[in-house]
Chains A and B, each alone.
Chain A
Amino acid sequence: MPIKVGIPSALLFYDYYPLWITFFEELGADVIVSKNTNKEIVDMGIKNTVDEACLPVKVFHGHVLDLKNKVDLIFIPRITSVSKYEYICPKFCGLPEMIKYSIKDLPEIIDTNIDFRKSKKNLNRTVMEIGGYITKDVKKIKNAFEIAMKEYSRYKDLIKKGFLPIDTLKKDIYSKGDFFRGKAKVLLLGHPYNIYDPHISMDLVQKLRKHNLTVVTCESFCEEAMNEKAATLDKKMFWSFGRKILGTVLSAIKNDEICGIIYLSSFGCGLDSVIGDIAERRIRRDSNKPFTLLTIDEHTGEAGVDTRIEAFVDMIKWRDEHENNLSPHRKFIHSN
């Protein structure tokens, strides 16, 4: 019987899932992904995490609990850094410990340290270490990683085309070609695990699409332009998320197609308190694009968020209708 590997579908899952799933499947393991986030998972997570942690981390605990009795191995890598001289977040560095000491009777954890802060030299060793949990066959691991990387780059191409991870997760992504229906583009900022998890974000992406808006995120922006813009910051942004978001903001400010910016932040997120503030200051100073910050946590009511989204969309649409035809002759600009 093949080994069952569990992958919690939370946190960086949305960035890397084709890579992770294909890799373990190619190694001959049986991959079990936790259920989509639901009320039960959130509640379980909240009960088992320290009170001060942010919502995504609590949800992650819930996903691990969902997998607990179903699998032989759980994949919770310690993702310290994926880019040179940058970090992800302190909580990611301590995630395996947080899980280990908060949840009892867990199956074995794959807690390999993924750290490319100094260089990517140890990539090979990292891959071998992770693969080593399944098989000792070095060739097989190498092969599996190659196939997984191919799958991953296919996925990245799709993202570049403007699909979002939630679209690619559906089997027939091309059948519903109405993602790019609206002319007006809204930039949705925030951590991928907040934006792309429909339960956490309260289906924000679909809600915006229903208003005939195209949703773009950091992932669909040109990376070179993003890096170039991020390099103009006063001090190097040492969080990968931060560099991505601020780079996107700086290039979006100059982009006329984007008619509104929404920042989705989770309550208590240390990174967002800095990044969100810098983003807001830049947007207000250098552009006249509408900006709103939505903060979510486990207590957030959906109705309040809906109202704010609707108000935001109205603002964009009214601008489109009235802003450009200001009368110089002191006539009413509204029809009634």
Chain B
Amino acid sequence: MKITFPHMGNTYIALKVIFEELGAEVVIPPKCNKNTLELGTLYSPELMCIPFKITVGNYLESIEKGADTMFMWGGCDVCRIGYYNTLQKDILQSLGYEIQMFCLEPMKNINDVKNFLKKLSFVSGSKNYIKVLPIFIKGLRTLYEIDELDDLVIKIRPRELNRGAVDRLYSSFKEDVNNANGYKSIVETIRRYKEKLLKIEIDKDKEVLRVGIVGEIYTVVEPFINQYLIERLGNMGVEVHRSVTSSEFIKEQLDFIPFLKSDKEEVHRGAKPYLNTEIGGHARHTVGNTVLYSEKNYDGVIHLMPFTCMPEIVAGSILSIVEKDKDIPILKLVLDEMTGESGYLTRIEAFIDLLLNRRESKFYERDISWS
């Protein structure tokens, strides 16, 4: 069995750990690129959202590399992601590929976790799903480690003294982690690079802009689709905070387990005056996190969404009021296969200029009013 899964930022490292520990052969699809997008767009429904198209592209490229089993997560109810796997199976079958697909359904209680573990144990060929649990936990740990590393990267990047130091280190990290196999050596690699990162020379007193990123999880986490937004902002000297990450998402999915704590309640509290119900996708998080960012005195918020994303459209229309109420600038970026790079860059640069000017004028206001 050769197993593959779609890309979503760095989650592939954690998935690689899980499936390798289970004893399956893992085929990692090539990093998302133009070819992936073109392949995916060709075979997907026209008005489908961009994550679907990229995922189809990932599968097709993996199949070329010899994969025969697909892993996919089915999502949170109201939104289209719940039907991704069925439709993708149909598409691949009509292209003549006989593949197997298994799907991670949203988990609401311990029983769902058990069912998922049973599915996983099927990969390893053993029937004892209890044995799978430690492997699943190893995967989760890897995910946390990676997200910690990424958070560190986006903190250090705007403050580095030698420009490009972080990016150089990060690309060599990617190479090393792809060559590492198994939980132990992968986690070791991550930790080693964490230490290296901390040794990078930084300007501690540098006043950097702080921008929060909200929106649909795939567009936030996958750098190819958001046009390397986080890296770009970092190199412009902006500290970025991602409100949704894969590890936080998993935490929220599993927070019925007593010892796991997520920020879900805090986010819901923030969203309460505007949107006090779950409408699918990450809409509630988008609204809630924007409010939280304004409370934490961030300079601005960037709202990312795939074109035609239903929950984010609702969130977007609410954000226009939040922007006025909380006096925080919000830039909405809609992403799809037609997104052009230069137009996108211009908008980001203009937004950052605006934030810089705002900060300056706020600074003067503070100085002039004797307080």
CA distance A323 to B53 in the complex (A): 38
Determine whether A101 belongs to the interface, using a CB cutoff of 8 Å to chain B: yes
B159-188 vs A, CB cutoff 8 Å, 1 = contact: the mask equals: 000000000000000000000000000000
Determine whether A256 belongs to the interface, using a CB cutoff of 8 Å to chain B: no
* Contact of A94 with B279 at beta-carbon distance under 8 Å, contacts A235-B86, A267-B47 already known: yes
* In-complex Cβ contact of B334 among A52, A101, A238 (8 A): A52
B260-280 vs A, CB cutoff 8 Å, 1 = contact: the mask equals: 000000000000001101111
Determine whether A197 belongs to the interface, using a CB cutoff of 8 Å to chain B: no
CB-based contact A93/B78 at 8 Å: yes
CB-based contact A238/B314 at 8 Å: no
* In-complex Cβ contact of A94 among B83, B85, B283 (8 A): B283
CA distance A78 to B62 in the complex (A): 43
Closest approach, in angstroms, between the C-beta of A118 and any C-beta of chain B? 12
* Contact of A93 with B277 at beta-carbon distance under 8 Å, contacts A268-B308, A281-B94 already known: yes
Determine whether A134 belongs to the interface, using a CB cutoff of 8 Å to chain B: no
A residues near B321, Cβ cutoff 8 Å = 101
B74-104 vs A, CB cutoff 8 Å, 1 = contact: the mask equals: 0001111011011101100010000000000
* In-complex Cβ contact of B47 among A49, A80, A273 (8 A): A273
A281-300 vs B, CB cutoff 8 Å, 1 = contact: the mask equals: 10001000000000100000
CB-based contact A49/B317 at 8 Å: yes
Determine whether B24 belongs to the interface, using a CB cutoff of 8 Å to chain A: no
* Contact of A90 with B308 at beta-carbon distance under 8 Å, contacts A52-B334, A269-B47 already known: no
Determine whether A44 belongs to the interface, using a CB cutoff of 8 Å to chain B: no
CB-based contact B310/A97 at 8 Å: no
CB-based contact A90/B310 at 8 Å: yes
A residues near B274, Cβ cutoff 8 Å = 97, 101
Q: DSSP class of A's interface residues: helix, strand, loop or mixed? A: mixed
* Contact of A50 with B317 at beta-carbon distance under 8 Å, contacts A90-B283, A97-B275, A238-B77 already known: yes
Determine whether A113 belongs to the interface, using a CB cutoff of 8 Å to chain B: yes
CA distance A133 to B94 in the complex (A): 53
A90-125 vs B, CB cutoff 8 Å, 1 = contact: the mask equals: 110110011001100000000001000000000000
Number of A-B contacts (CB under 8 A): 112
B residues near A98, Cβ cutoff 8 Å = 314, 317-318
Number of interface residues of A (CB under 8 A): 37
Interface core residue of B86, B87, B90, B279 (most chain A CB under 10 Å):
B279
CB-based contact B80/A274 at 8 Å: yes
Determine whether B281 belongs to the interface, using a CB cutoff of 8 Å to chain A: yes
B residues near A87, Cβ cutoff 8 Å = 77-78, 280
CA distance A273 to B87 in the complex (A): 11
Number of interface residues of B (CB under 8 A): 40
A residues near B320, Cβ cutoff 8 Å = 50, 101-102
CB-based contact A50/B46 at 8 Å: no
CA distance A87 to B87 in the complex (A): 19
Determine whether B298 belongs to the interface, using a CB cutoff of 8 Å to chain A: no
B residues near A234, Cβ cutoff 8 Å = 86, 89
Closest approach, in angstroms, between the C-beta of B95 and any C-beta of chain A? 12
Residue ID in chain A nearest B84 by CB atoms: A274
CB-based contact B82/A270 at 8 Å: no
Determine whether B1 belongs to the interface, using a CB cutoff of 8 Å to chain A: no
CB-based contact A94/B47 at 8 Å: no
CA distance A274 to B75 in the complex (A): 15
Residue ID in chain A nearest B82 by CB atoms: A238
CB-based contact A52/B313 at 8 Å: yes
Q: Which of B283-319 contact A (CB under 8 A)?
A: 283, 305, 307-311, 313-318
CB-based contact A273/B46 at 8 Å: yes
B residues near A269, Cβ cutoff 8 Å = 47, 308
CA distance A91 to B313 in the complex (A): 8
CA distance A281 to B90 in the complex (A): 9
* In-complex Cβ contact of B83 among A52, A89, A274, A295 (8 A): A274
**20 extra interchain contacts, Cβ-Cβ under 8 A, other than A49-B317, A97-B318, A268-B307?**
A52-B307, A80-B277, A87-B78, A90-B280, A90-B314, A93-B278, A93-B314, A94-B315, A98-B314, A101-B317, A101-B318, A234-B89, A238-B77, A238-B78, A270-B308, A274-B45, A274-B48, A277-B45, A277-B48, A278-B87
Would you give 5 A-B contacts (Cβ < 8 Å), ordered by A?
A91-B314, A97-B274, A98-B318, A235-B82, A265-B47
Task: Using CB atoms and an 8 Å cutoff, list the residues of chain A in contact with chain B.
Answer: 49-50, 52-53, 78, 80, 87, 89-91, 93-94, 97-98, 101-102, 113, 233-235, 237-238, 265, 267-274, 276-278, 281, 285, 295
Task: Using CB atoms and an 8 Å cutoff, list the residues of chain B in contact with chain A.
Answer: 45-49, 77-80, 82-83, 85-87, 89-90, 94, 274-275, 277-281, 283, 305, 307-311, 313-318, 320-321, 334
Query: Lowest 8 A-B CB distances belong to which pairs?
Result: A94-B314, A93-B279, A277-B45, A273-B47, A90-B310, A101-B321, A270-B310, A90-B280
